[in-house]
Each structure stands twice: as C-alpha cells, then as structure tokens.
Amino acid sequence: MDKKGQKTKIILHIDMNSFYASVEMADHPELKGKPLAIAGNPEERKGVIVTSSYEARKYGVKTTMLVGEARKLCPSLLIRRPNFERYRDVSKHLFSILREVTDLVQPVSIDEGYMDITDITDEHPPLIAEQLQEKILRELEVPCSIGIAPNKFLAKMASDMKKPMGCTILRKREIPSKLWPLPIREMHGVGEKTAEKLKKIKVNTIGDLANKEEYELKALLGINGQKLHQRANGHDDREVDPEAIHSFKSVGTSTTLPEDTTDETYVYRTFRKLAEKVEVRLKRKNVVGQQLQIMIRYSNRKTVTRSRLLQSYTNSKEEISSEAVDLFEEHWDQRPVRLLGVTISELVEKNEAVEQLSLFDYEKVAEKEPLYKTMEELKEKYGSGVFKDAKTALPPIHTSFQKDFLDED
C-alpha cells in the first residue's frame, strides 16, 4: 500500500531488443550471432543505419551512422533492407501475447508497450515478467527487456538498465542508488537539446535534476521542466491506458479555392499553407501524428479522401506538405479542383511518441536543419511574413517507407 492507503501499482514496460535486426535473425537463422544492420540503401555508402544487432554494436556501429562509416568499423557487417510489413506482423503477435496476461496493455510503438498487472495477485510480478519474456522468445524468437516499477516512467527506465533479455525491478526507495547516478541524457524524456540546456545550469545527472529547485527548471524549460523534475524524483501518475493509441482524434484544415483549378503549382502552394496551419495546431496541442489524409473536392462537388500511414510521427509542415503533394499526385484525376484539405490523425502526445528511426526523416532533417534554424531566427526577428510563398512548386519528396507502428485494423 502507498501512503494514501491505495494499492501500489505494478507496471511493466516491455521493450523489444534491437527489434528490426532481431526479427531478421528470427526469419533468417544464418544471420544469428553475426553483426547485422538494417539500412534503406545498403548498396550506397551514404545510406543510414536504422538499427543494428548487439554483435554489430560491439564494433561501435550505431543508429544514424552512415553505411560507409559502419563498414569501416566492422568490415564483416551484414546489411539488410527493412521489411516493415513483417515487423508489423511480429508486433501484432507481441501485443496479443501481452493481452493474454491482462487487458491493461498500452502500446507506445511498434516494439514497446506498458502493462498494468496490479490486480494480478496470483503470481509474483518478477515471475510474470520472466514467463512473458520466455514466451515472447519462444514464439517470436525475438528477445526483450522488461522493467518492473510502480509507475510508467520508472518502468521505462528500468527496462533500459539491462539489455538484451534483462528483467529489472526499480523501486522508489532505490531511486537514489539506481537512477540518480545516471547521466541526464539517459533520462527518458530528455533529448539532446534539453540535455545541453540542463548542463548549462550544472545538471549533469538525473540526481542533479531531482535536487534542483523546481522553479529554476520551470524557468528554463517551462512546464516540461516541472514535469522532468517530478519524474526524476519518481513521481508519475499516468495510467496505463489501452485506448491511448486511439484517444486523440485528428487535427486538420481545408480551404475552398477562389476558382476551380488544374494548376499544379497553385495546388502545391495551397498544400504548403494548409500544412503550416496544421503544424501550428499540432504544436499548440503538443501532439504528433502518423496518419495523413488529404481531401480533394472537384468542380462537380464530388469529394474524395485518401490517406497514408507515415513511417514515423510528425508535426513538421515540411513533411506534411511533401507527403500531401505526393498523395495528391498519386490520386488526382486531372479534373479541376475546388477544395483541398489536409488532416493528421493517429495522434499521441509528443513526449510519448517513440519512433523507430526513418532514413527518410533522418537524412532530410539532418540535411535541412541549419536552414530551418536560420528561418526560425529570421521569423522571430522580422515576423512570419519575412518568407513569401515560392512562385514555383517544390519538387515532391518520395519515400518508399510506410507506417512501422502497430497497425490495428
């Protein structure tokens, strides 16, 4: 029981180890025990590593590393293209196994999720975790690590403490000894930029964060600073919500054109404007989405909608715009258009979105990050009107990647 006399929660966080590489090894036994990486363009030295096996990681091969660089570190590295359809199938099987134990299962990405086993009193929690781990390995041939804790944050941190095939308990009384010594960058919810800001105020470990004055963190990071301070001290009252993956609806906007048009340049500019509005609303709600839908209404009032499951979560106007244009080009029948709309759905809170790295997103964002930064600085200084719409359409960006998250049809 906790201090309020309520039953102490028992939360499991299940995290599949090197998921894509592990699935490939399960399907192709000849790959087992060998250094393996998944990359979109294995033939090109500039392709980016999506994930790698633990055998490859021993050589220093890491996610986001260029294929050429990885091969220098590990000349025997084997590289395969990703098979997202197969990964989704394995993911569905994984979550069906978890739901055999309890209905209180919350998927948060293709390869991880939370379980609330508080009310399962007939077995010891570590035994439940070990039996799950063994069943997943037996049926899927994919290893996982499991964290056991009284809340979601601590369970997530616990599952990261021992990989692969770890099973770790993190109790609140163990926070000072197990959690606080860890570098601040290893804390769930602290990205690279946030870590840099925190280090400037001498917050180098999770313990430093826990013992910092909350008002100082709030001044530095806003409401997120307060939330991180609470997490570092072991406080997290979020429930395991099986409906969370479906709980958000959508964010979208549409516009009726001044006149019917077949002008593709005008259509592309319109999609960019719609994407900008959607981005603002997504960021205001602090959510990201993974399903894009466009609406096309023709001059005869016939309306069609077409959707696409994106490879990763986004709230970026650049990505929303390019994907919308791509979808439009794929389905437009060349008749005059009267209305256009863009909607993003499958929404989750930004800090809950755990994405598998997309080569498309990584390479695009890494390449354009300096440009985006400069644009944002100019907007802050001179106002949003400093950039006018281009007179010609941006070339659409194509990607062969599809959604790699749990697709529950």
- From first to last of the 409 residues of the chain, give the pLDDT tens digit: 565 667 889 999 999 999 999 999 999 999 999 999 998 766 656 677 888 999 999 999 988 788 889 999 999 999 998 888 899 899 999 999 999 999 999 998 889 999 999 998 677 999 999 999 999 999 999 999 999 999 999 999 999 999 999 999 999 999 999 999 999 999 998 988 889 999 999 999 999 999 999 999 999 988 889 999 999 999 999 999 887 766 556 889 999 888 899 999 999 999 999 999 999 989 888 888 888 999 999 988 888 899 888 877 899 999 999 999 999 998 899 999 999 999 998 787 776 664 444 444 444 444 444 554 455 455 555 554 444 443 333 333 222 222 233 333 3
Query: Do 158 and 178 fall into the same domain?
Result: no
Q: Please list the active-site residues.
A: 112
Let me know if residue 62 belongs to a domain.
yes
321 and 210 inside one domain: no
CB atoms within 10 A of CB 58: 12
Structural domain boundaries, residue 294:
248-386
Closest CA to 208 of 176, 167, 236: 176
Domain assignment present for residue 401? The answer is: no
CA triplet 404, 405, 407: central angle to 5 degrees?
110
Prior bond of 181 cis (ω within 30°): no
Count of residues making up the chain: 409
State the Cα–Cα distance between residues 29 and 95, nearest whole angstrom.
23
- Tell whether 179 and 164 lie within a shared domain: no
Residue 111 marked in a binding site: yes
Query: Are 331 and 304 contacting, i.e. CB atoms less than 8 angstroms apart?
Result: yes
Let me know whether 280 and 214 are in one domain.
no
Residue 212 falls inside a structural domain: yes
Q: What is the pLDDT of residue 44?
A: 59
The number of distinct structural domains making up the chain is 3
313 and 204 within one domain:
no
Which has the closest alpha carbon to 20: 56, 60, 68? 56
Residue 29 sits in the same domain as residue 144: yes
Same domain for 376 and 346, yes or no, is yes
Question: Are 30 and 114 part of one and the same domain?
Answer: yes
pLDDT at 172: 96
Q: Are 224 and 350 in contact (CB under 8 A)?
A: no
398 occurs within a structural domain:
no
d(CA 144, CA 134): 9
Which whole-number Å values give the CA distances from 409 to 88, 91, 269, 305, 406, in the listed order? 11, 13, 34, 18, 9
Contact 35, 55 (CB under 8 A): yes
Output the furthest CA–CA distance in the chain (Å, rounded).
Answer: 69
The candidate with the shortest Cα–Cα distance to 313, out of 341, 295, 292, 284, is: 292
> Do 163 and 177 fall into the same domain?
no
Listing DSSP states for 30-50 in one string gives: GGTTS-EEEES-TTSTT-BEE
Within a domain: residue 213?
yes
Contact 340, 256 (CB under 8 A): no
Domain boundary among 152, 170, 188: 170
pLDDT for 404? 32
Residues 340 and 368 in one domain: yes
